[in-house]
Amino acid sequence: MRIDIITVLPEMLEGFFNCSIMQRAQTKGLAEIHLHNLRDYTHDKHRRVDDYPFGGFAGMVMKIEPIENCINALKAEREYDEVIFTTPDGEQFSQPMANTLSLARNLIILCGHFKGIDYRIREHFITKEISIGDYVLTGGELAAAVIADAVVRIIPGVISDEQSALSDSFQDNLLAAPVYTRPADYKGWKVPEILLSGHEAKIKEWELQQSLERTRRLRPDLLGE
């Protein structure tokens, strides 16, 4: 998988993609992450990527030309499954969406900034708009990092224990069951006996019941209740 991220702050993301799971995925050749500084696609001496909005509204708006230049340059080299824009008013990001995007070969993620982007960009270049929550960030870089991490980590081979990713919260529309490790007894706080029993079927049943109970208590919306 290749992910091209268009941003005005590439330095904000460089460290994130050069450590932990994201670095491992790239080292294994399972993912490529490329950062593109939008200012490199401007043609004025000030390298401006924004301008005042028509209508007298507050804030600044990202311009069409640099974004078109960057997207067209990328598309001239390969085909893309999606051109994603990170925006608070987009479709809510979810585990099923991450699962679907993990099957893509090439993705572009455009990071918004300032008051937003010229709406014509969304009308003519963007194929998918994604929000990571009902709040506003200074820019779309953090959202792009969240999306890339959630997508890349479930590519087969990225995580050593693939079953671990399949048992994460939301994979089956349930929250994950509690997990424990050694010691089995710490200051009198004991691990549930069933997990020490070695009885696989009973442990699976306990896990399901715990998932259902936690989901019903914390996220009943996932159960449609």
The per-residue pLDDT for 192 is: 97
The per-residue pLDDT for 224 is: 84
The span from the CA of 93 to the CA of 75, in Å, is 25
The span from the CA of 23 to the CA of 187, in Å, is 38
- Per-residue pLDDT at 86 exceeds 80: yes
pLDDT in tens, 147-159: 999 999 999 999 8
The three-point CA angle 57-59-61 to 5° equals 95
pLDDT in tens, 174-225: 999 999 999 999 999 999 999 999 999 999 999 999 999 999 999 999 998 6
DSSP-assigned letters across all residues of the chain: -EEEEEES-THHHHHHHTSHHHHHHHHTTS-EEEEEEGGGG--STT---EEPPTTS-SS-EE-HHHHHHHHHHHHTT---SEEEEEEEEEEEP-HHHHHHHTT-SEEEEEEP-TTEE-HHHHHHT-SEEEESSSS--SSSHHHHHHHHHHHHTTSTTSSS-HHHHHTSTTTTSSPPPP---S-SEETTEEPPGGGGS--HHHHHHHHHHHHHHHHHHH-GGGGT-
Q: Given the structure tokens 């050593």, which residue do they identify?
A: 160
Summary mean pLDDT of the chain: 94
Q: Which two tokens stand for residue 95?
A: 């585990």
Do residues 4 and 32 lie in contact, with contact meaning Cβ atoms separated by under 8 Å? no
**Is the pTM above the cut of 0.75?**
yes
The span from the CA of 178 to the CA of 194, in Å, is 13
CA 125 from centroid of its chain's CA atoms: 20
pLDDT in tens, 59-84: 999 999 999 999 999 999 999 999 99
